[in-house]
Every structure is written in C-alpha cells, then in structure tokens.
Structure 1
Amino acid sequence: MKTFMNFAIIFFCTVCSTIVFGQNVKTNTEIAILLKDNVNLSTLHYPKSVIQFYTKNESEYAWIDDMQKLDQPEIAMLLLEYSYRFGLSLSDYHWDSISLQKLKKLRDSPAEINQKEKAVFDILMTDALITLINNMHFGKYNPSYNSAYIDSNDINGFRSEDILLNARQQTDFLKTILEVQPKIKAYTDFQNYLNILYTENDCIAPEREAEKIIVNMERLRWIDTKETNYILVNIPSYTLKLYHQDDVFDFKVIIGKPTTKTPVLSSSITYFTTAPDWKVPQSIFIKEMLPKILKSPQYLENHHYSVYDKNGNQVEISSSKLKEIRQNPYRYSIRQSSGCDNALGAVVFRFENSYGIYLHDTSQKQLFNKDERALSHGCIRVENAKELASLILKNDGSGNKIPVLENAMSEYKRKDFVLKQPVPIIITYLTCLITDGKPVLYKDIYHLDDSLENKFNQNK
C-alpha cells in the first residue's frame, strides 16, 4: 500500500501540471498498416502482445487522443520515466523515441497532421508499457521464460496486453499496473525501501547496495506465488521463514555446499513423515561411504546402515559380498534406519521437485551454531524441526494432532501427516534483504550475483 500511495502522490502532483486536452479522432488506418509492417514490428519487444492490444482496441489510438481519461497517458509516461524506482532501466522502454514532451506536442497538433508519426509514437508507447508490465511481473532475465515465450503464451492466466487494457478502464490506472508486481514480503520490503530512499534523496547510494537490491528484486520476480501463507528458504542467509497471514516464524537452516548446491525452486509441502529411514543417494554411497565400508565393515552397523540389492532385498555382508559390491557398486543401495543418529533426524518434509531434495531434521544440531552453514549435499536441514512441523499442523487446522506428532518424534515412530492444504515452499537465492528498514548484504555463497549484475550494468 505504501508503494501505491507514494507513487500516486508523486504522479498526481506531476500530472496536474501536465494534462493536455487532445482531440478524440479515430484514425485506425495508420496503426493497422504499421502493425502489418515487419520492419516496424521488428522494433518492438512484444509485437504479438501489441497486435493483440490494438486488435481489442479496434486499432484506435490509446494515448494520443484519449478524451475519456486525459490523465492516463501522462501517468503512463511518468511511470516509464520512474522505472528506475523499480530497479529497471529507461533504455528498455523506447525512451530515445518517446517522451512526455513529445506526447504533449503530438496531442496538441491538429488531428490531420503527422498521422504516421502519431501512430508510431502510440505503438511504441504501448510496447514500452507492455514491456514494463512484463518486466515487473516476470523480470527481465527470467530463466524460465524469455520475452519471445512471454509474448506468445498465456502464463498462468497472465497477459500483459489484457492488464494494460483493463488498467485503461479503471479509475486508478497506476494501481492496476503496479499490482502486477510480486506480493511476496521480501519484494515489497525492497520496493518500499526504494520509495523512501528516492523520495528523501532522489538518488540511491551506495552503488554496491543498489546493485544488490536490483538483482534480488529481479530474482523475486521469477517466483510465481500469490499466496500469503508460504515458506521461504533463503540460501545465502541460511534462513527459513514461515509466513502465515501477519505472522512470521524464523528458523536457521543448513544448505548445500558449493560443490553440491541447494537448487532454487518453487513447490508445495504436501506431507511430512516422522522417524524416516534414509535411502542414501548413490553418489554419496559410492563416493563417500563405500571407501569407509571397505575399510571397516563395522561402519555399517555402527551407523545403522543396511545394504540392498537392485531387487530391494537386504544382503548379508561378507568379505566376498564386499568384493562384489566394490566391483559393481551401482547394483546396490544403502539405507539408514530411523533413530537418534539418523541423518534425517526425527522428521522429514516432502515436496515435489526434480532434484530429489527435501527439508529435514538432523542429528547434528551443533552445526547450527556455525555462522556459515553451507554443509549439506543439497537438502535443507532445519533447526527446531519439531516446532516447524507443529506450526504447519496448527496452520492447517490440525492442532489436535500436535501431541501425536510430538510422541512419534520422541519415540521414533514412523507416521505420515498429510496436509489438508499444501504449504507453498520457495527456495530462493537473495544476497540482500531489508531487515528493520535497512539493507543487509549476505555472502554470495554460490557466486551467482556477478553474471546477473553484469546484465543489468550493460543495460544501464
């Protein structure tokens, strides 16, 4: 809400002094011709979306001769001019060809003059706004969707040209456009911080801080969630936050080593299990455990591991069997039974993903005392996992199951807790967050910032 109010005040004051009374002349011929010209279309970032916009607008001017809502074109142009307040760049929005001054000039000129120039301007302004909408919603460098894909597809019901058409019908044009931004709290914190900073100083400093804010706002635009209840795991800060309505619950986590990175993803926790056994990933079994087993077969018993063949049958360990396992390790797997020294601890949280990772408790709780906790093979270990499980049950309307959970965890009894409403989980990589109103920078553990910063710097 602060974002909307700040911009509304700034734009309203500016627009009051810039409203121009144009002429309402329907001149759809020039626009229709230009939208059939491949050379003209090649200058647009989202040509298909622009064509759809004007098809639904009957090829009429959207900005040059708008008599119904005279302030909208000025607000739209000022929104583009203030794009830096969203960590974006004017150079992406045809600013070499459009401007507020040129808009006023073209609207002041007689209807029959400069028809082609007006049409070109109107189309470029539409493409600029569609580009801004897509940039604010999907980001500029979204790894899942490039501009061509966004231009050609309806992604989860989102079409930028429909957003723009709808905004033109609303009393609050600006708010409708700004609503396309992520609702996730980390993003709104960034946006509110930039609003305050620019309002007070009309600049942002230091530059390094600005770069971090920009790249991390971009990453948050890649997350597709409208939920108010969700779990956010941030890799660089080693934290997990459970958001439930207006409450936020914080947990420390251990994440993947740089050689076995925890992936960035979005999914939903559908259930969790107490007293899990651990099916050891083949890479860990072969590279890390097998040498220890070959050196001392007692390693298996000491850590409650069992070996299974490819048919799932448990095998007895002998010197001849160890020789066979060493020669053909991929024919075997290893599991650790539940218990106090199980690597997964007393509870594991499951969510669908292609990486085979999950959240889980741990028997090595002393590791949470470390400041830097990139220590796992990719899965995420949670401190106070019982508290997290209890909160998830409570928020799911199953608080009566908490005593059952506590008993199952303390006695290492296997039990599945299926959620009525899956909890969205977002694993992200934010090297900056706003804490107590100030930016806090985190170590770039996986060295992912440089490439993204370079993309933005090249386009300043």
Structure 2
Amino acid sequence: MKYRFLRDNLTIALVLFSLFACHRKRVLREKEIVKDVRQLSEVIPENIAERLEYIVDNEDVMEDSVPALRGGALTYFYQQTSNNPVWSSEGVLDPQADSLLFYVSHADESGLNPAIYHNAALAQAMKRLKEDDAARKDAALWAQVDVLMTDAFMKMASHLRFGIAPRDSITLRRDSVYSDTLLANYLTTALHQHIVGATLRSQEPQQKGYEQLKSAWINFKGKYSEMKWDSLPVSYTDTPAFRQQLINRLAQSGHLDTSGGHGADTAILKKGIRAFQKEFNMYEDGQAGKKTVQALNKTFRDWSAQVAVNMDRWRKLPDTLPERFIMVNVPGYRMELWDSGSVALTSKIIVGAPRTRTPLLNSRMTNFIMYPYWRVPFSITIKEMLPAIKRDRAYLAKKSLEIIDRDGNAINPDSVNWSRMSKNYFPYVLRQMDGLENSLGIMKFNFMNKYAVYLHDTNNRGLFSNAYRALSHGCVRVQQWDSLAMYLTKGDARHPRDSMRMWLANGNKKQIDIQRSVPIYLRYFTAEGRDGRIVFHEDIYGEDKVLRKIMGM
C-alpha cells in the first residue's frame, strides 16, 4: 500500500514536471556582440529563429510583452528570407525603417494606439543603436528590432485596413483578415520598392468622411495634446469656490481669458462656458449643467478614444460607396444624401430613444408613400395605447385610430371587450388614419429591414428644434422629407415635380416607386470631421463604451 502511494505520487510529480517543462518560457539571449559588423549576417538569423520559437512558446506574446498579430505570419515571412534580417544590413538600418517608425509613433493620428505596435521597445532600441557603438554590433538587438518591425508592419496594415474591433452584422467588407501569404508579399514588395509608408497609407479608408475626421483629429491633437486641465467635482452647488474651479478649468483649455482679471464676472463666465459648449457641439446655454461638467472632465485620452472608435467604424465600410446613397448618423441626428462624391441634401432627424433604439443596418430605399397609414407596432399598442384606451375610449378618436381585425376590416370599437385585451390576447391591429395628425406625417420612406423601421415625416415638427433628439420609438423622423422626396424622383418622367406638388396639395394617397433604389446606411458616428474641426456627438446608446472596451482604448 505504501509502495503504491509512493509510486502514484512519483507519477504525478513527473507529469507536473513534464507539463512545466513544456510550457516554460524560452530564455532569449540578451546580447551577442560580434567583433565586426560584417559578421552580423552570420549570427542574426540564429537570433531571429530563437525569437520566432519564443513567440510560439509564449502563445504569440513577444519579448516586449506585446502580443504579435500572428506568430504564424511571422514564421511564414522569415521562412521566405531564411531568417535573414530585412530591416538592416551590416549594422545599418534600412531607410524604410524610418518610414515605419514614423507611422508607428504617429499611429494615434489614424485612431490606433502606438503601444501595440511596439513603439516603446523600438524607440528604446533606436536610442541604443544611436548612442552606443557596442549596440550596433549586437546581433540579438538587431534580431529583436527586425522581428518587432515586421510584426508592427503586419499588425498596422491589418488594423488600418480592417479595424481592431471584430466584424459585426453591418460590416460591408467581404474580407476581414489578411492571409499570412498576402502580408508577407505586402512587406516584401514595400521593402523592395521602398514604399513602406505609401503601402500603409493605402490601407486606410479612402472615404471622404474618414479623411475629414482624420484631418480634424490632427488639428485637435495639435491644439490639446500638450494641455493639462483639472477635474471639476461631480456633485457640486453654485458656490464661489465652484465658480473659481470652473474659471480655472475653462482658462486651462483656452475657453476663458482671465488675463484682464474679469474671469469671475457672470457674463464673462457664461461666455467661456458657451465657447466650450460650441466647440464640443453642446447646447449653448452658458450653464455648467451635468452634461457640460461631464464633458469638461473628459481627458485628452477620452477624446482620443472617442475619435479612435469612430475611425474604426469607417473601416467596416467598403472601399467604394455607391454613386448615390443615404447616410443616417443616429447620434449626430443628421441625414445626408450623397451624390457623385458630395452631399446633395442634409436634414435634421429624430431617432429612437435609448429604450427604443434606432437599429443600425444596411438596406435600399425602394419607394415612399404620400399620406400613409400608420400600422401601430404591437409593443406600442400594448405598452402605451391599450392602457389609454381602457381609461378613455375617446382616446381612439382623438388619435384617429382604427381597429383592424385579422381579415383587414375596420371594426367598431364598441364591439371589442376591452377588459379582456392584454399582451397575451389582442387579435387586432391599431391603424392611424392618414392626414396631418398622423404620427408619420405626410410622407413615409420604405426600405427593407427586419426591424420594421423607416424614415418619415412627423406631426410634431417642433421637436426638430431640440438639441437632444433621441425621442422616437425607433423610426427616423426627417425634417426635410419634402426635399428628399423631390430629389429621389429627380429626372423621373413618371413623377414630374409639378404633379408631386399637386398630389401633396390635394392630399392624394400615393405610393411612389423610386426609379433607381437608393442604398441607405444607418450608422453610429459620435465624432465627425467638418471644415477642419471635430464635431463630437453624445454617445446616446452607450455604443462607444462597448467599442472602447473591445478595442482596449
């Protein structure tokens, strides 16, 4: 019995030792100094091979503790070079390395984090090579630099092309990853033709919206990246002490000039608050309310991350968009109709409230209806209208609602036993009759989607003057609905403009089929570039927070 106990424990110990030995991290040579730089070509390949094995053993984490794009991609590339270095020769760095290092150190201008492209390790290595004669003869250091640069190129090319966040349901790119072979070919060609920088630039989205955002971000970075500012208390009252903190904060970011000693003056303080609110696209009331204080407390890193997630969203669009398309920016409360590379029509919009979000989707607009009925969604019927009807039967007439049975017939409300109606039993549909009081207004624009949402006019047009317009049940209300309808039928002989105007004036109920269906994209951009400056939008659905977590921003 004692022998069996000892034998079993010995077996367990051997298994544990074996597992430990298999997963033990490979120890890399810290340095290997050669007598003459011409000997580097003989020794560097061994050091590169050692590093490739280390990456495999270390589950793709590299020696600077930063994960590689794919260890397999690195191994494949260096198999083509017999583990010879590609970024240096006999102790001299290839000029293309400077292009890569510039792109890495300025990765944030493309919405990427320089740290994940080995910026710190490469900067430290460059410093050693510049200042230390012995370092230039260190085969281990040159091998480290070579493998780090190769991974930086591959990773950056992939991220610039496809983004960091994974492919989602509205991604329009057909591919979402570069193969090892393609990455190796890209790098080989870039080095041989001396076009490393140009190759990386070509991976970025070519869309005008992306280019405008990037340009505006570089301007913003130039203005604010070196600034430091204090945080304001989250819970506060309007006391002299808080006002002084507010004055100091606005002065630190250049929104309030205190050089004349008038910063505490109420009118001057309001002017400073309005200047901040205007720059950050907020309601300009001159008051330090909750949202304004939250924005004042954002750090430069917060603004940087907001831009980064929006650049990543652009990378989910295709290289080329159609000649004519509609872009709906949900948090921007803005619709744009693009034609031949420029914006032909813009409109304020109202979108879904956070509890009833407007979905993000891709579709094609096929037709629009003048003076439409509104078939009330079941959720609205049960949650909002049924309780109101039970309290007051006159609610149906006030809202111009008809009750439609399963056969499509309108029935008398008095024939319904309303006390029996509930979410578990409601064999009818509520339909709001057409007219000026209809919730859809005069026009409804249809496009295929599984959410039963559409663009439409509204009978409550005063809401377009609100700064916060996440107010609907999910559909998108369009202020310039008439201009949109006219543009969609421009050049269509079947629907002359005069006839359209007459039909509208007479209240004719008509379905207008669009001659060429128009692609429509419902998207979520909380940062845009406009006239060289960034326009920030509120993260109304919390989508930025989710994406920041995924991207590690």
TM-score of the superposed pair, with normalisation by structure 1? 0.75
Q: What's the CA shift for 1:337?
A: 3.3
- Sequence identity of aligned pairs in percent? 25
Choose which of 328, 331, 335 in structure 2 pairs with 1:236: 331
Q: Does 1:414 align with 2:495?
A: no
CA contact (8 A) 1:26 1:60 kept: no
Q: Are the structure 2 counterparts of residues 423 and 224 from structure 1 closer, same or farther at C-alpha, using a change threshold of 3 Å?
A: same
Give the structure 1 partner of residue 200 of structure 2.
177
Alignment of 1:98-109 (within 5 A): 98-99=122-123, 101-102=125-126, 105=129
Answer with 199-208 or 291-300: which moved more: 199-208
Choose which of 424, 446, 469 in structure 2 pairs with 1:373: 469
Q: What's the CA shift for 1:75?
A: 0.7
C-alpha distance in 2 between matches for 1:21 and 1:406: 83
Alignment of 1:314-333 (within 5 A): 314-326=410-422, 328-333=424-429
TM-score of the superposed pair, with normalisation by structure 2? 0.64
C-alpha distance in 1 between matches for 2:190 and 2:375: 53
Give the structure 2 partner of residue 123 of structure 1.
147
Choose which of 352, 357, 363 in structure 2 pairs with 1:256: 352
C-alpha distance in 2 between matches for 1:351 and 1:300: 29
Q: Are the structure 2 counterparts of residues 118 and 30 from structure 1 closer, same or farther at C-alpha, using a change threshold of 3 Å?
A: same
Give the structure 2 partner of residue 155 of structure 1.
175
Choose which of 210, 213, 216 in structure 1 pairs with 2:307: 216
Give the structure 2 partner of residue 445 of structure 1.
540
SS in 1 for 2:439: coil
C-alpha distance in 1 between matches for 2:468 and 2:476: 14
Q: Are the structure 2 counterparts of residues 92 and 341 from structure 1 closer, same or farther at C-alpha, using a change threshold of 3 Å?
A: same
Q: Are the structure 2 counterparts of residues 312 and 61 from structure 1 closer, same or farther at C-alpha, using a change threshold of 3 Å?
A: farther
Answer with 295-304 or 369-378: which moved more: 295-304
Q: What's the CA shift for 1:388?
A: 1.4
Q: Does 1:39 align with 2:63?
A: no
C-alpha distance in 2 between matches for 1:26 and 1:89: 33
C-alpha distance in 1 between matches for 2:343 and 2:325: 11
SS in 2 for 1:381: strand
| CA offset digits 1:237-296 (Å, max 9, x no partner) | 322222322335321111122322223444443443333322211110001111222233
SS in 1 for 2:471: strand
CA contact (8 A) 1:264 1:429 kept: no
Q: Are the structure 2 counterparts of residues 424 and 210 from structure 1 closer, same or farther at C-alpha, using a change threshold of 3 Å?
A: farther
Alignment of 1:8-407 (within 5 A): 38-40=56-58, 42-43=60-61, 44-47=67-70, 50-51=73-74, 54=77, 57=80, 61=84, 63-65=86-88, 70-99=94-123, 101-102=125-126, 105=129, 114=139, 118-142=142-166, 144=168, 155=175, 161=183, 164=187, 167-168=190-191, 172-196=195-219, 203=226, 208=299, 211-222=302-313, 223-225=316-318, 226-227=320-321, 229-244=324-339, 245-310=341-406, 312=408, 314-326=410-422, 328-394=424-490, 398=492, 401-403=495-497, 404-407=499-502
Which amino acid in the other structure matches residue 514 of structure 2?
A: V
Which amino acid in the other structure matches residue 401 of structure 1?
A: H
SS in 2 for 1:230: strand
Q: What's the CA shift for 1:78?
A: 1.9
C-alpha distance in 2 between matches for 1:175 and 1:21: 31
CA contact (8 A) 1:270 1:418 kept: yes
Give the structure 2 partner of residue 8 of structure 1.
none
Answer with 41-50 or 251-260: which moved more: 41-50
Give the structure 2 partner of residue 6 of structure 1.
none
How many residues in Structure 1 have an aligned counterpart in Structure 2? 426
| CA offset digits 1:198-223 (Å, max 9, x no partner) | 66898477574663353134224224
C-alpha distance in 2 between matches for 1:288 and 1:201: 47
C-alpha distance in 2 between matches for 1:80 and 1:327: 57
Which amino acid in the other structure matches residue 82 of structure 1?
A: H
SS in 1 for 2:161: helix
Q: What's the CA shift for 1:343?
A: 1.7
Which amino acid in the other structure matches residue 211 of structure 2?
A: T
Which amino acid in the other structure matches residue 233 of structure 1?
A: V
C-alpha distance in 2 between matches for 1:327 and 1:258: 22
* Structure 1 portions without partners, runs of 5+: 1-19, 146-152
Q: Are the structure 2 counterparts of residues 351 and 92 from structure 1 closer, same or farther at C-alpha, using a change threshold of 3 Å?
A: farther
SS in 1 for 2:451: coil
Q: What's the CA shift for 1:177?
A: 1.4
CA contact (8 A) 2:118 2:148 kept: yes
- Asked which structure has the greater CA Rg, the reply is 2
Q: What's the CA shift for 1:135?
A: 2.9
Which amino acid in the other structure matches residue 206 of structure 2?
A: K
| CA offset digits 1:172-191 (Å, max 9, x no partner) | 43233123223343432231
Which amino acid in the other structure matches residue 331 of structure 2?
A: P
